[in-house]
A and B are shown apart, each in its own frame.
Chain A
Amino acid sequence: MNFELTDNQKMVRNMVRDFAENEIEPVADELDEKKEYPDEILDKMSDLGLLGIMIPEEYDGAGMDTVSFAIAIEEISRKCAATGVITEVHNSLVASPIVHYGTEEQKKKYLPMLATGKKIGAFGGTEPDAGTDLGAMQTTAEKDGDSYIINGQKTFITSGSEAGIVIVFAVTDKSKGRKGISAFIVESDTEGFQVGDVFDKLGLHANKVSELFFEDMEVPKENLLGEEGKGYKIALSALDHGRIGIGAQAVGIAQAVLDESIEYSQQREQFGKPISNFQAIQWKLAEIGTRTEAARLLVYNAADAADRGERFTKEASMAKLFASEVAMNAATEGIQIHGGYGYIDEYKVEQLFRDAKITEIYEGTSEAQKMVIARCLLK
């Protein structure tokens, strides 16, 4: 058992931390305030290989391991959780399924585009009536000669309005239930692809989350990802990777709360001394710090299991469940440490509080994670 990161992983942490502090932090507040998508940051990240973290080198990616991916997402999210989730979805929910299930032609065509940031990726799973119950999706894909005709709609799609490549899940055979769902690689300039509303949200303002509509959208059969009917399996597999990423994002948010709270509590004086001298504040800091470290270890544990080639569904769900609740709890306590100042938008914890909540919801709610974990435990 070795809890130490490898030299490469430490170098990744140092590099991404340096990048996040110098390139993301100075603009993060403005992006949040103006609800602007971080195009320039993503451009710079592509130069550093951060848009193809786990894509093999032969397809222009960095060919890094899952632990490095988790470290990168944590460090990015520590300075901008919205940029964190955009990067996480792009890498784990879009690039990874193509790496694992794509044909050689699909890999050659799409992975370099993703790795170099020419196209940002989105994951078209959720529908208005198919969230946790993804199998209830209504979007259909009908075979028509050498193509599929896709009709339907998706919602709450991260980077929906900005993505160039979307993995769209659709029903190819309704009679087979979940085994009748297939996955398609869809380019957003395909005729019939339309972006609907871009939502105003509680947090993650720099992430454009939108509806997508498909009207008689013709997708060539070469763009079927994996086999017909394997879409649900592909979605679950992608979400296993994604949950490591969201766990890492949540750890980044919790760490940011801790950073802000330590700094504030050492500066803010009440009753003639810094509030960090009071045990009530010290205990809060100790609890946030301990929980954040525990969450980080669960995330690393799941990522390391993935890198060892083991099944990691349970570990990923545990990491996501725990880390997201740690982030939300940290944000609540972080605001409490800041008192009234924590409730106004001049202080970062206000934004962190808004950003934290979604980690308990997307890529599987906490309740859904418990279903997955219980299923694994009761096997």
Chain B
Amino acid sequence: MNIAVCVKDVVDVSEIKIDEKTNEPILEGISREVSDIEKSAVEEAIKIKEEYGGKITVLTVGSVENMENIKELLAMGADEAVIISPPEEPDYTVVSELLAGAIDEIGDIDIVLCGEASIDLFSGQVGPRVAELLDIPQITYAEGLEAEEEKIVGERDVGGNKVMTVESSYPVLVTVTKEINDPRLPSLQEILGAANKPINEWESDEFMDHEIKPTMETKDIRGVSMERKNIIFDEDELEDSVKKLAENLAKEGLLE
């Protein structure tokens, strides 16, 4: 099985703070990472490779500020990485077109794996767009995946604790949720070994046969203010306070 995994080098969102005056996120000095969701996609690829053999190529669009984050995926077990330089500030259209173009360029890919969404913007658009551009079936939000010789079976998280089981022929694109597995940590030996694995840097005009333009313009990024209501239920009897709390939570739609 030849597998392509799409990943993104993003800021560690757990470190982001919002500037109280401007309401803008403070991004300076924040460490970057490949999110656990995408590491789960890599882990799933490794498991499939362990069973069927093949090659795993990790793809990412945009400048990689921390090369060790990509090397870590190679240390986990991916074979090769491709870093694609976008022609201009990439939006979902540009990223999807570039990934689909690169996967086409690599050729002979059986499975494309993505996270359900990137941890920073979390739109969940890129996976489905790439599948559409490649004109292949897609299984989104997979929390379970079983690759067989002729088909792949995915268990989709469709919300409300419900799972939809679907199967597809190859080639196929699968987006995975974090629940699908626990990504492995590379050993020290694997970290050293990753140094010998290729990291290729591709310019978009080297493999794209048409010009791509962003269709979306980012005007502003603002923090969402979460005002607390600060309601205190202080009845004479504790039970009455609890009852009122429960009633209010139900009214807010937080309790069924």
Residues of A bordering B, CB below 8 Å: 7-8, 10-12, 14-15, 18-19, 47-50, 53, 57, 62-64, 68
Residues of B near A62 (CB, < 8 A) are 187-189, 191-192
Contacts of B195 in A (CB 8 A): 7-8
CB contact under 8 A between A19 and B192, given known A11-B71, A11-B75, A14-B72: no
Within 8 A of A (CB), among B48-106: 66-68, 71-72, 75
CB neighbours of A11 from chain B (8 A):
68, 71-72, 75, 186, 191, 194
* Count of inter-chain pairs, beta carbons less than 8 A: 50
Q: For the complex, what is the distance from the CA of A62 to the CA of B185, rounded to whole Å?
A: 15
Choice from A7, A19, A47 contacting B67 with Cβ under 8 Å: A7
Contact assessment for A63 and B192 in the assembled complex, using a CB-CB cutoff below 8 Å: yes
Contact call A48/B185, Cβ cutoff below 8 A: yes
Could you jot down 13 A-B contacts, CB within 8 Å?
A7-B67, A8-B68, A10-B68, A11-B72, A11-B75, A11-B191, A12-B188, A14-B72, A15-B72, A48-B188, A62-B187, A62-B188, A68-B188
Which residues of chain B (26-51) have a CB below 8 Å from chain A? Answer: none
In the complex, chain A residues whose CB is within 8 Å of the CB of B67: 7
The distance from the CB of A218 to the nearest CB of chain B, in whole angstroms, is 37
Contacts of A8 in B (CB 8 A): 68, 71, 191-192, 195
> Contact residues of B with A, CB < 8 Å?
66-68, 71-72, 75, 185-189, 191-192, 194-195
Structural contact, A15 and B192, CB atoms closer than 8 A: no
Residue of B nearest to A5 (CB): B68
CA A19 – CA B187 in complex, angstroms?
Answer: 11
CB pair B188 A64 closer than 8 Å: yes
Roughly how many angstroms separate A18 CA and B189 CA in the complex, as a whole number? 17
- Specify which of B66, B75, B188, B194 lies most central, judged by the most chain A CB atoms within 10 Å of its CB: B188
Name B183's closest neighbour in chain A (CB-CB).
Answer: A18
Contact B68–A14 (Cβ < 8 Å): yes
Question: In the complex, what distance in Å separates the CA atom of A7 from the CA atom of B197?
Answer: 14
Which B residues touch A48, using CB under 8 A?
185, 187-188
Task: Name which residue of chain B comes closest to A69, CB basis.
Answer: B188
Q: In whole angstroms, how far apart are the Cα atoms of A18 and B188 in the complex?
A: 13
